[in-house]
Amino acid sequence: MNKPRALIFDLDGTLTDSAPAIGRALNRLWADMQRAPIPQVAIRGYIGDGPAALIKCARRDSGLEPDLVAEQAEANEFLRIYAEDGPGGEIFPGAIEVCEELVSAGLELAVCTNKPQDAAWRLLSMLGLAPFLVGCVGGDAAPLRKPDPAHVLETLKLFNNVAPSQALMVGDGLQDVAAAEAAGVNVIVASYGYGGVSTARPDLPSINTITDLPELLALKRD
């Protein structure tokens, strides 16, 4: 694989393991509304398309009818609870060291996530990832969100004159793959994440842990 000039990372399920914190916040909201808790394994499958989609999936699996007004109100309350619950996730082991190695090798790094901008940057800052990034484009900070390529193209603007063919997307969701490929950006699948892309797209290169990334990119190591 040719060494890229820049890497675009997804956030939840790629750089950070946010599923436990998301699950706690969602089930706290569900408890407040006197609804039965949702299993964590189901919640992992809701992650990737932003809070509104998360709530829509949770309501569907709880037997509730679609209701755009209620869904938006519950998404807002979910975000409030999520912000109260600490950083909102834990860093995958080795992610700091990998980002440091990538930057030392001359690559620019950014995050493209469907998570809202404020929540994403808060998580990145609290976990110590922000200093390695040129920026982050959350789901509410782009014209359209993943899987639309506009989200990836907006993130490319953060880099120093990097063409799509010179960038690489690392993500765990089908929305990451679809957005990147439509934008002309190559993809590496984070098979350890939530999206199950390695099964759906076995043709794509993949990593089993974040620490596999430098070797796949053939970066020089001391």
Active site annotation includes 61: no
Q: DSSP letter at 64? A: P
Contacts 24+ apart (CB under 8 A), 209-213: 209/92, 209/93, 209/94, 210/14, 210/15, 210/92, 210/93, 210/94, 210/95, 210/98, 211/93, 211/94, 211/97, 211/98, 213/98, 213/102, 213/170, 213/188
Distance (Å, whole) CA 66 – CA 109: 38
Question: What strand order describes the sheet that includes 206-207?
Answer: 135-137, 108-112, 6-9, 167-171, 186-190, 206-207
Q: Is the peptide bond before 147 cis (omega within 30 degrees of 0)?
A: yes
Catalytic residue among 10, 12, 49, 172: 10
177-210 burial, b for 16+ CB within 10 Å, e for fewer? bbbbbbbebbbbbbbbbbbebbeeeeeeebbeeb
Catalytic residues: 10
